[in-house]
Amino acid sequence: MSESVVTRFAPSPTGYLHVGGARTAIFNWLFTRRHGGKFLLRIEDTDTKRNTPTATAQVISDLRWLGIDWDEGPEVGGPNGPYMQSERREIYEKYIRQLIEEGTAYYCFETAEELAAMREEASAQKKNLKYSRPEVFPSKKEMEKAKADGRGVTVRFAVPDEPIVVQDVVRGEVSFAAGEIGDFIIQKSDGFPTYNFACIVDDELMGVTHVCRGQEHLMNTPGQQGLQDALGFRRPVYVHMSVTVSEGGGKLSKRERPEALRKAIKSRADIDVENLADAGGISIEQVEMFLKGESSPDMPVVNAMAQSIGLHLPEINVVDFFNSGYLPETMVNFLALLGWNPGDGREIMTVEELIECFDFGRLTKTNSLFDRKKLLSFNTERIRMLGEEKLVERFREYLKAVKSPVLSADDVLFKRIIKSCEGARTLEDIERKSRFLFLEDEQIEYDEKAVKKVLLKGDSLTVLALVREKLASMEEFSGEGIEQMLRNLAEERGVGLGKVAQPLRVALCGTTVSLSIFGSVQMLGRERVLSRIDRTLKEFKTGNQA
């Protein structure tokens, strides 16, 4: 390229990092790394009413987990800071004053009620609201009087009455007729700039050469180009990515998780609202407002309430996929292929391979499907491909985050557990299968379905008692010896191995899912195995005929 590439990822901290936002970051980062340019992280936190206190820290944490590093931005610094828009108000004010002085922007004093009335009138006429520009722009003195009278003062950009053409890498030439774009607000009544204004100032001052973002921002571009022309700014290369849709056909939305929780709560009569409030750390009134659709709590609150009722919410944010046991290598690989392809049929690719061939010119116009089954397949393959040491490292990160008792295992046991889980789809699968090893005997909870389907069926408890007797009398408690004993017992009784192994598995784990039963017995140890069998026989001895 003739110039040094500079791209940016500029999330708003109004929530956690959505996979759609992560895809934007990945596309910009891959393109920049391929061309040896600079990748910037900028936090667009001017929407003070919607900002979430924990969001910025979580966005940074999620990007680092994905392996996305930045050359300028929070925690890194750089010559073009600050990188939080809330700390750049003096910079924006300078350019706002320039536009007002040059007559290309003007003050407005309408109240929220007056604007609402305008919208209603436009709606009644089946038109979009288009602000009526005054013939004479209000003066600074009139602006100060309006403020003194308690009216909110905003600043609007006077959009030139001429056609605007946007050149886009993905969509080609997109034309907007004269008058199609109405005068829009560039400074809110709280003094903060709007997105459309702040981003073009920052892109200019930070030297951004390529703006790759979601298709929904295409409609913002003509107004932004008008501002660039009015201020004498350069025009970056625009790249508007296609939309990613869910299996249901709709756009992946941050609202899916709270909506799923709300729906589940309303459908279940056994849920106690007071317990929900306690789990989420909010008041009963806040829970009731949430159920009415009048508010939506922060995501940690939503997650805590869902966990308290045993509800698995759909993964939407990057941290959700982390907590469900996906690998960062999987997420980067999968998200990079949503609306882009290398052109040679490859799918499972390393980061280095992605960087080597990534180019905006291969982005597609059509929507891409967020195929969760395919993602799971990718993750299964990635777990298989990842080296043992790296997999142990990833597993430890995951266990620490979900506060699993499995974290207490040493490296030798970790490797043994992982080896026993060959073919695992997620780190969550490995944790779930091995968790029983690290619980006290009395902490084992019996799954109701497993009890009915296995323990209380036929002569399962009698078989379990025989297994206990043979395990207690074994001289050497080895994996091979345990396997041979269980197979011999199954043969003696003329049944399949499952008829012998599954009652033992439920007794040890509480469920029908665990590590290999032979390894499970050996790793748990004779004393704890016999203790859990005894507890199970005592608990369900009257259910043998059920």
Q: Within this chain, do residues 191 and 221 fall inside the same structural domain, yes or no?
A: yes
Rounded to the nearest 10 degrees, what angle do helices 299-308 and 273-280 cross at? Answer: 130
DSSP lists the bridge partners of residue 136 as none
Check whether residue 205 and residue 297 sit in a common domain: no
Residues 101 and 226 in one domain: yes
Same domain, 532 and 485: yes
Asked whether residue 332 is assigned to any structural domain, the reply reads no
477 and 411 housed in the same domain = no
pLDDT at position 543 is 46
Of 287, 315, 343, which marks where a domain is finished? 315
Q: Residue for token digits 């399949």?
A: 496
Predicted confidence at residue 406, as pLDDT, reads: 97
CATH code, domain with 272? 1.10.260
Higher-confidence position of 539 and 49: 539
Based on the domain organization, do 229 and 311 belong to the same domain? no
Q: Is residue 353 in some structural domain?
A: no
Same domain for 107 and 233?
A: yes
- Whether residue 393 is found in the same domain as residue 470: no
Ramachandran angles phi, psi of 524, nearest 5°? -70, -35
Averaged pLDDT, 474-496: 94
Predicted TM-score of the model (pTM): 0.90
Task: Establish if 513 belongs to a structural domain.
Answer: yes
pLDDT score for 119: 78
Residue 546 has pLDDT above 50, yes or no: no
Sheet with strand 210-214: strands edge to edge = 172-176, 164-168, 237-241, 210-214
Residue-wise pLDDT for 269-322, tens only, equals: 888 889 999 999 999 999 999 998 888 888 889 999 998 998 989 899 999 999
The residues that bridge with 108 in the sheet, in sequence order, are: 154
The total number of structural domains that make up the chain = 4
Boundaries of domain holding 304: 256-315
Q: At what angle do helices 273-280 and 284-291 cross, to 10 degrees?
A: 110
The reply to whether 218 and 105 lie within a common domain is yes
In a domain, 291, yes or no: yes
Domain match, 129 and 207 both: yes
What pLDDT shows up at residue 3?
65
pLDDT tens digits, 389-434: 999 999 999 999 999 999 999 989 999 999 999 999 999 999 999 9
Residue 398 counted as domain residue: yes
Could you tell me if residue 83 is inside a domain? Answer: no
Q: Domain end: 196, 212, 241, which one?
A: 241
**Is residue 542's pLDDT more than 80?**
no
Residue 474 lies in a domain: yes
Task: Name residue 530's amino acid.
Answer: L
For residues 103 and 170, state if they share a domain. yes
405 lies in the same domain as 508: no
Which sequence positions are flagged as catalytic? 254
- Return all residues near 475 (Cβ < 8 A) that are at least 6 apart: none
Q: Look at residue 79 and tell me if it is in a domain.
A: no
Domain limit, last residue, from 296, 315, 334: 315
